[in-house]
């Protein structure tokens, strides 16, 4: 089964080359890699273009909507041709070695979503801003314990979807930041998704987190709140998760 790896990238010239090499080395074919340039002003697109000349499985796309994480990911989802689809961060924080086990689970276990989990047994989250780590763990643990979410890591964007199922989900939610990953997960659950998780390792690849980055995390948190609240309400009210989640 072919996997479509969607890589949203905004000014990632320092990391995109190593990320592509890692995916190519660690993920078994059949494979397509869709790099979505998100209004880049550096050499990201030029670097990706050199890869496309030597590897037909790599494709360069452009986010034609307003700049933003969700718009870039949605662009990749719309162009994906594989049976399975997964978003991978351009800064090499995600571990591509997890992708093959994810594909095996979707192929043989009949599930719709496989979550790469940093917080389950065997998973790891290494480094990163303190507030990011604290907020992420609080949200994920509470959703698992109190809202019956089927993963310990609901906020992680590193999830593989069966494309046939993804097309039935209202995934086109423009204008969101990283909270898009939680929103999409909630909508998938509301559609009755069959979900499992596998352990993965996430590594902070940047310099030591600064106070500015910590403050930036706090500014993003309000975007998660509406989806977190809806998850608590929806999961607790229905064990079947059959209702759709709407704006």
Q: In whole angstroms, what is the distance from residue 244 CA to residue 148 CA?
A: 17
Do the domain assignments include residue 44?
yes
- Angle at 58 (CA atoms; ends 188, 200), nearest 5 degrees: 45
Q: In whole angstroms, what is the distance from residue 7 CA to residue 34 CA?
A: 6
Q: Which are the contacts of 63, defined by CB distance < 8 A and separation ≥ 6?
A: 8, 36, 37, 38, 39, 71, 72, 75
Do the domain assignments include residue 52?
yes
Q: Which are the contacts of 197, defined by CB distance < 8 A and separation ≥ 6?
A: 114, 115, 116, 117, 120, 150, 151, 152, 153
pTM of the entire structure?
Answer: 0.91
Total domains, the chain: 1
Residue 242's pLDDT is 37
CATH label of the domain that carries residue 34: 3.90.550.10
- Which tens digits make up the pLDDT trace of 140-180? 999 999 988 999 999 999 999 999 999 999 999 999 999 99
Do the domain assignments include residue 144?
yes
Do the domain assignments include residue 163?
yes
What Å distances lie between residue 235 and 42, 100, 197, 219, CA to CA? 43, 30, 18, 26
Do the domain assignments include residue 243?
no
Provide the residue range defining the domain that includes 178.
3-237
Nearest Cα to Cα of residue 164 among 246, 82, 93, 87: 82
Q: Residue range 207-225: average pLDDT? A: 75
Residue 244's pLDDT is 41
Do the domain assignments include residue 244?
no
């Amino acid at each position: 089964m072919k996997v479509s790896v969607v890589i949203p990238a905004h000014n990632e010239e320092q990391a995109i080359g190593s990320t592509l090499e890692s995916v190519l080395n660690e993920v078994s074919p059949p494979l397509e890699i869709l790099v979505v340039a998100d209004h880049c002003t550096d050499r990201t697109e030029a670097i990706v273009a050199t890869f496309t000349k030597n590897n037909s499985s790599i494709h360069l796309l452009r986010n034609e909507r307003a700049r933003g994480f969700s718009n870039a990911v949605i662009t990749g989802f719309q162009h994906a041709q594989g049976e399975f689809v997964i978003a991978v961060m351009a800064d090499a924080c995600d571990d591509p070695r997890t992708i093959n086990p994810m594909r095996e689970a979707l192929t043989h276990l009949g599930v719709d979503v496989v979550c790469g989990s940093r917080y389950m047994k065997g998973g790891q989250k290494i480094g990163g801003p303190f507030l990011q780590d604290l907020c992420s763990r609080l949200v994920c643990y509470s959703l698992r314990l109190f809202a019956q979410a089927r993963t310990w890591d609901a906020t992680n964007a590193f999830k593989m979807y069966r494309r046939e199922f993804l097309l039935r989900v209202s995934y086109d939610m423009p204008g969101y930041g990283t909270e898009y990953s939680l929103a999409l997960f909630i909508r998938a659950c509301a559609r009755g998704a069959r979900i499992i998780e596998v352990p993965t390792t996430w590594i902070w690849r940047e310099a030591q987190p600064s106070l500015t980055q910590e403050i930036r995390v706090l500014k993003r948190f309000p975007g998660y709140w509406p989806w977190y609240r809806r998850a608590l309400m929806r999961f607790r009210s229905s064990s079947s998760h059959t209702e759709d989640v709407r704006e």
